[in-house]
Amino acid sequence: MTSLKTLFAALGVFLAASATMQGQAGRLRDVLDANVASEKQLVALPGVTPTLVKAIMNRRPFLTMTDLDTLLAPSLNTDQRTALYRQLFVQINLNTASDAEIQLIPSLGPRMLHEFKEYRPYKAMAQFRREIGKYVNDKEVARLEQYVFVPINLNTASDADILSIPGMGQRMLGEFKEYRPYKAMAQFRREIGKYVDDKEVARLERYVTIN
């Protein structure tokens, strides 16, 4: 009987932990988000001229990292873009990013590309840290997580998970939670569109899901 109680207790802990697992955007430390970086921050980056700053700001939001790379390619060669991406990036969805998009992460080779994809679908950044931590040290895991995100569940995500979205503040956190439960993404677009323009809604939508 004791063993059975122990088993059920362990199962309960497992289910509770699973229920609270949420997506998150990776913690940004040394890398700026290209969609929210200021003009002053952009112009200070290597190879980014005032003309490129204007082009970046006019084109935003970038809904994929490929979009940013395509914009920069006529002005910066491969080595220059790789150097820039150590400081500027558009976080990629760990579960849907293409091989080409993942390989835009600086110093990410074929082996790590394989490891990124092996553990799909990711449910939370904690899972990414745990699995990728099997192959690289903590410092490298922290570097890599800056480039990625796992979409959050709009209806169950914690405040901390929502606030992990780049550019997210307390006001918009309140608006995200006000309209729970969300039934469809169309509802999210409609409600959040009361507070920000269509471009910002599209940027925010990258980070969220309903499931």
DSSP per-residue codes, 167-178: T--HHHHHHHHH
**pLDDT at res. 22:** 66
Enter the pTM of the model.
0.88
Model pLDDT for residues 129-161, shown as the tens digit of each residue? 999 999 999 999 999 999 999 999 999 999 999
Domain ranges of the chain: 32-149, 152-209
Answer for the pair 89, 31: CB distance below 8 angstroms, yes or no: yes
Model pLDDT for residues 60-103, shown as the tens digit of each residue? 999 999 999 999 999 999 999 999 999 999 999 999 999 999 99
Beta bridge partners of 148: 92
| Cβ burial 43-71 (10 Å sphere, 16+ → b, else e) | eebeebeeebbebbeeebbbebbbbbbeb
